[in-house]
Amino acid sequence: MRIELRHMAAAGLGLGGPVAWGVVSGRPAVGALAAVGALAVSGLFMGEVRPGLRRILVHGAAPVAGGLAGVLVAGHGWLTAVAVVLVAGLLAVAGGISRPMAEHSTRFIVFMVIGTGVAKGVEPVAAAVLFAEGAAWGLLVTALCLHARKAPAEPGEPRPAPPARALLRRWWRTLGSAPGWQYPIRLTTCLAAAEAAGLLWPQPTASWIAVTVVIVVRRRLDGAARRTAERAAGTAAGVVAGSAVLLWVPPSWLFVLLVAALAAVRPALKEHHHTLYATVMTPLVLLLMEGGARVAPATIGYRLADTAIGCVLALGLGYLPWVVRRERSIRAVVG
């Protein structure tokens, strides 16, 4: 997979633009909220030289819709928690239809959870408008930087996509067996526990528990322990780095540069460097969630505790019991 400067430029300009606008207008928190919308669509086309405009719009729809759903339901306590868990569970089930559906549903869930965190204390409609504006800017920058037009055809016959009816039949069969429900159960169990923990322990950064869970828990169990440990380590390192920056309170111009630089590096790390990716992604989300404002020293403690809780939930409920069960089943078959 080839990452070019144009991909990094699209991500950096996509997030740096709204933040710069917020700083210039004297409302950095507003610009940061719009940048979360741009974050939803940045880095979606790594390695693609010229993704078409239709492809950009289709792949950007799921995370944008998820973020909008999150900001609209945020701030209602248990109702928000129940809505997030139910929607995540339904989409996790639907994601079993095909690989593209799994990707779209995962993006929706991640940005729905992030949206509930960034929109707290903001009027829902205003937050949704800002998020949508940032997403529109991110899509525009992506289209311009990647010269969005139809990619040249690859040599050889294109591989036909399976018919929709065949995909649905196969998906329906998987729902008749335990493996078909494994990921939805893992995700909703972890997410429900995270939402409950955030509500039962009221503190300024409680939404970060759920954000950590959706960052760490993924659909595949192969290599799960290693990948989870890498994401957990990167997330913890990113929390320390991001919180230290917010304690220092960087000048406005440096805040813009930090967001743009972290966003630009993100596409190059996403697929193959889980620890570094989480180390970059975490402070980026933190900076946007706090809007560059100074945080109290206690916030670092809260954020680290929330990260630890989220990682423990992801490992203890979402991976280890399932990996142990699978290994026992394999041994029983072999033996």
Q: Are 58 and 121 in contact (CB under 8 A)?
A: no
Tens digits of per-residue pLDDT, 261-311?
888 888 777 666 667 777 787 778 777 877 666 666 677 778 788 888 988
Residue type, 123: E
The CA–CA distances, whole Å, from 197 to 30, 259, 307 equal 28, 30, 12
CA atoms in the 13 A half-sphere facing the CB of 228: 24
Instruction: Give the total residue count for the chain.
Output: 335
- Structure confidence at residue 253 as a pLDDT band (50, 70, 90): confident
For the entire predicted model, the pTM comes to 0.80
Tens digits of per-residue pLDDT, 138-167?
888 877 876 644 444 444 444 555 677 787
Cα distance between residue 25 and residue 52, in whole Å: 34
